[in-house]
Structure 1
């Protein structure tokens, strides 16, 4: 698998990419791989692909990437990091609600209000407002709508929700569950 070199990130952009990566439980390089894989999975013309990659990174402030030559045919599977792992016990990073990502990485930079997004998605304003205020999670229905509107995948939004839910429960009950439940292999 080819390595990805991330260069010329300002402090703000690096922080935003780090937050986005952390919300998915990935390294920054892993997050860049996913962004590229999502863009490459939608094979249009090369200019369409470049525009999509540029737009995805523009939402977090832009990035300078070395891409393979035009003769190289990349597939989404080439960028797969394998299964996501859980955060290690004792990690002090707080779980990031998908509403925070929606608000800070999509709504605010694009100057879209929750009410305007709700109208565009054909859902109630309180639904989007509650998500943006981190008082409601993202359902599969909302994930599909957000994916369509922002040209991301529905899985992108569901992964964020799933990672948030797991991280929240691990933080609250992880150690207790580890002490209460003995793995099947231990019964041997």
Structure 2
């Protein structure tokens, strides 16, 4: 399975907002309280205005019964995709190439 390099990876906030939070049957405020973060911080993640930090990834993993790396990798893929489009690397040489 190959990924489309032109498609932006899903922000973890979108997955939370569209699938995970509704499946819990709990309010966003209640979930924020259970995570030990402010309601505003949780809303900012859900709105994709803030990233899932490693600390939040650990909290999400505990709450939803998965691994922190699930959230960290999802955030990393999203961030790397944007950085590869936003950062000018034209003056950076390539010393080694992958085979």
Query: How does the TM-score come out when normalised to structure 2?
Result: 0.83
Matches within 5 A, 1:163-174: 163-173=77-87
Aligned residue number for residue 101 of structure 1: 15
1:185 Cα deviation from its structure 2 partner: 4.0
Matches within 5 A, 1:12-27: 27=1
Aligned residue number for residue 75 of structure 2: 161
Aligned residue number for residue 121 of structure 1: 35
How far apart in 1 are the matches of 2:32 and 2:19? 17
Q: Which runs of 5+ in 1 are unaligned?
A: 1-26, 29-86
Aligned residue number for residue 52 of structure 2: 138
Q: Which runs of 5+ in 2 are unaligned?
A: none
Alignment length, in residue pairs?
Answer: 97
How far apart in 1 are the matches of 2:60 and 2:44? 15
Contact preservation (8 Å) 2:57, 2:71:
yes
Q: Would you identify which runs of 4 or more consecutive aligned residues in structure 1 move more than 6 Å?
A: none
* Larger relative contact order (Cα-Cα within 8 Å, sequence gap ≥ 6): 2
**Match for residue 184 of structure 1 among 86, 95, 98:** 95
How far apart in 1 are the matches of 2:32 and 2:58? 13
User: Which structure has the bigger radius of gyration?
Assistant: 1
1:145 Cα deviation from its structure 2 partner: 0.6
**Match for residue 63 of structure 2 among 128, 131, 149:** 149
Deviates more, 1:159-168 or 1:92-101: 92-101
